[in-house]
A = this chain, B = another copy of it.
Amino acid sequence: MIILGIDPGIAIVGWGVIDYNGMGTKIKPVAFGSITTPSEEKTEDRIKDVYDSLNIIIEKHKPEAVAIEELFFNTNQKTGIIVAEARGCILLSCRQHNLPIFEYTPLQIKQAVVGYGRAQKKQVIDMVTMFLGLREAPKPDDTADALAAAICHAHTGTSRLAEYYNKPTSMAGKIK
């Protein structure tokens, strides 16, 4: 199964595609990287950049599922809103490509990758590097985080597919 992991953001969106063929088999890295948008741009231009770039990635690598980090707001509310706006366009792109979307908290991802929910960032990166048999850690950290989300889904996601398809299917929005 080809899994696309995404670490949402606005200045940097990490992404990583892995190939996983079931428990016990090796996870193969397919491609990974980051989408960056300049802060001088208008918000609508930046989120369109993210959306357009993600469309290209999805059409190129044809993932079968998407694993994405859940969003939490902490200090900077204004940045948080823009990141959520960009994340909305990420979800839209995945939905338009009919990809099932699985959301994981940072805690779930650390638990699945390191085996410990409160693991340090460096431990996560080290485990991602090892799991994928990479010579060096993926850069930037956002890319490693995206790959960690994809690995998390490979390790825990099979059982969640039934849960996903039990949710109601899409109905068209009503325009009154």
A residues adjacent to B (C-beta < 8 A) = 33-38, 40-53, 56-57, 71-73, 77, 80-81, 84-89, 91-92, 94-96, 101, 167-176
**Per a CB cutoff under 8 Å, which of B49, B80, B173 touches A36?**
B173
Residues on the B chain within 8 Å of A175, using CB: 33-35, 53, 56-57
The answer to whether A42 touches B167, judged by C-beta atoms less than 8 angstroms apart, is yes
A115 CB to nearest B CB, Å: 28
Q: CB within 8 A of A41: which of B33, B51, B168?
A: B168
- Residue in B closest to A10 when the chains form the complex, CB atoms: B88
Question: What does DSSP make chain A's interface, helix, strand, loop or mixed?
Answer: helix
The smallest beta-carbon distance between A78 and chain B, in angstroms, is: 9
Query: A80 vs B78: C-alpha distance in the bound complex, in angstroms?
Result: 12
Chain B nearest Cβ from A38, distance in angstroms: 6
Choose one: B40, B42, B77, B92; the contact of A48 (CB below 8 Å): B92
Among residues of B, the one whose C-beta sits closest to the C-beta of A72 is B77
